[in-house]
Structure 1
Amino acid sequence: MSESWDDLRIFLAVARGESLSAAGRVLRMDPATVGRRIARLEQGLGAALFVKSQQGYALSEPGERMLRHAEAAEQALSLAMEAVRGGAEGLSGQVRIGAPDGCANFLLPQVCAAIADENPDLEVQIVALPRVVNLSRREADMAIAVSAPTAGRLMVQKITDYRLHFAASEDYLARNAPIRAVNDLNGHRIAGYIPDMIFDKELDYLGELGLTRVPLASNSVSVQFNWVRQGAGLGIVHDFALPTAPGLRRVLTDVVSLKRSFYLVRHTDDRRHERMNRFAKALVDGMRVELARLEAFCQNV
């Protein structure tokens, strides 16, 4: 048997992507080549690692056992590389963060840019997804979440609270009836989430307020924000996003003020990774400082 780390790397990519094409994109290899390598690995082991179907590649029972050892080997290699590089000179290599798109668009870019400025050999990737990031499939090295997961082998750290309010453009407010109470919202066009695509109960802002009709709906916070910014309607907006749109004004601040939290979610096995620990600390510290700065800025909006 002559399996190498390269074989395990390909196996992990297929296991996480659940298809040859998804693995090929990650590995930058032709899917047919990936398939041949998996077939050769299975032949060498004398066991089928995947159950193949039209839906893709699912791990077989031997594949599940293989996965645990392959991930352990991956972690050992990463730790060895960290030890060789040394940890005092600065962060290097690639770190991928998954985050809901409000956080990914309005908070993470400047925080991660500051970390990258201090660590020129570091590559930071932000994956903005309107759903929960799957860390077990290694979609990211760590994730920002709006509720703390309770299942899986994960480390969860609360980062900070943040606030949201109704907001509308000055132009929209000048053209439409005054908004002095929640009941006044019935006569206005509201932007919000597509109700059946809300992936976390913490994001059901309008449902919490008893507003079931959403004339302008999207699964993207950025789309909702741009509708509001362009005067198409009003909607629930993150306070930390308001400084990017000077023409927006908060409304009903004495009546509707929502508080939510951000959590950092990581693989439990990563607790021994000095590089990931250092990056996580810089990320959490930076998010706390930047969010406080942005929310203080918009108090008079």
Structure 2
Amino acid sequence: MADWDDLRVFLAVARGESLSRAGKVLKLDAATVGRRVARLEAAMGARLFTRSPQGYGLTDEGGRLVSHAQAIESEMARAHDALTGAGEGITGQVRIGAPDGAANYLLPQVVAEIVAENPALEVHIVALPRVFSLSRREADMVIAVSRPEQGRVIAHKIADYRLHLTAAQSYLDKAPPLTTLDDLPAHRIIGYIPDMIFDRELDYLSDLGIDQPPVASNSVSVQLNLIRHGAGVGVVHDFALPAVDGVRRILTDQVSLTRAFHLVRHADDRNTPRIERFAAALVSGFRRELARLEALAERA
């Protein structure tokens, strides 16, 4: 019969896909993690991982065990919350996955406020331009720009956000006139690398009939820095503009995009007080900070 400690090691390897990455999370050396995995496999009478130069991948048996191990993990977290009580602040570790726009320009301020009020809390922000897997517990919660259409998750809309065409004043001073959308073909456009757009909601330029921007990145912050240095014109989140100088919105009466952020969590965490309280603080702070930054961009 497997014990919880071995299942905890199993989940870390399943999420990290390597002994060394799991060891860093667990604060164990890779050899110890490997022995614990072997002990669990012996106890279960099944091979849980396939080993390859690329790392550790789940076998069919390992994949079936993941959901059961996650359910035990959630129960352990709820038990911890019940024993420690709700009046001592939020404790433990929470990992948030987010696209890099939100992760760079919104989450740091919000998380700083939350951890200041909850000193025993650990927060990891995973800023990657891709879709996260909650089923593999790559994160405890995800900020997404599309509501998930499948999976055992719960999703709540956080807020709408706005985007506009922008350019650096230094670029506009030297470039051809840009007073209408008909002038755009004369300008260098900055945007996402088309084959690296991981969510259809991020395909902003197709609305403008632009399929292949000549200067592109998969990162929002890189795009904004390209614009800041005068490389061209691009669509930017209003909430990101206060973070840079010399970039302003253009053609606002002709181009104004609206998208939404959603908070997505695993269904098993619905009744976990620690996660519930963190999610409530996150959503409240996120909405306040988004409104503040968009108001600054509006006034600029």
Structure 2 contact 194–212 (Cα < 8 Å) conserved: no
Q: Identify if the C-alpha distance between structure 1 residues 65 and 215 changes in structure 2 by more than 3 Å, giving closer, same or farther.
A: closer
Q: How does 1:1-301 map to 2 (within 5 A)?
A: 1=1, 3-301=2-300
- List per-residue Cα deviations over 1:100-152 (Å, max 9, x = no partner): 00010111111111112222222222110111121111111101000101111
RMSD of aligned residue pairs (Cα, Å): 1.6
Taking structure 1 as the reference length, what is the TM-score of the superposition?
0.94
Structure 2 contact 146–201 (Cα < 8 Å) conserved: yes
Q: Distance in 2 between matches of 1:229 and 1:289?
A: 26
Q: Distance in 2 between matches of 1:278 and 1:96?
A: 14
Taking structure 2 as the reference length, what is the TM-score of the superposition?
0.94
Query: Which stretch has the larger CA shift, 217-226 or 227-236?
Result: 227-236
| Residue identity opposite 2:287 in structure 1 | R
Structure 1 contact 17–137 (Cα < 8 Å) conserved: no
- List per-residue Cα deviations over 1:218-263 (Å, max 9, x = no partner): 1000100001112221211110111112311111101110000000
Give the percent of matched residue pairs that are identical in Structure 1 and Structure 2. Answer: 62
Q: Distance in 1 between matches of 2:135 and 2:193?
A: 27
Structure 1 contact 95–123 (Cα < 8 Å) conserved: yes
| Residue identity opposite 1:134 in structure 2 | S
Structure 2 contact 228–245 (Cα < 8 Å) conserved: no
Alignment gaps of 5+ in structure 1: none
Cα displacement (A) at 1:12: 1.2
Structure 1 contact 164–237 (Cα < 8 Å) conserved: yes
Q: Secondary structure at the match of 1:37?
A: helix
Q: Distance in 2 between matches of 1:169 and 1:65?
A: 53
Alignment gaps of 5+ in structure 2: none
- Which 4+ runs in 1 deviate beyond 6 A? none
How many residues get paired? 300
- List per-residue Cα deviations over 1:83-103 (Å, max 9, x = no partner): 111002211222111100001
Q: Secondary structure at the match of 2:253?
A: coil
Query: Which stretch has the larger CA shift, 13-22 or 258-267?
Result: 13-22
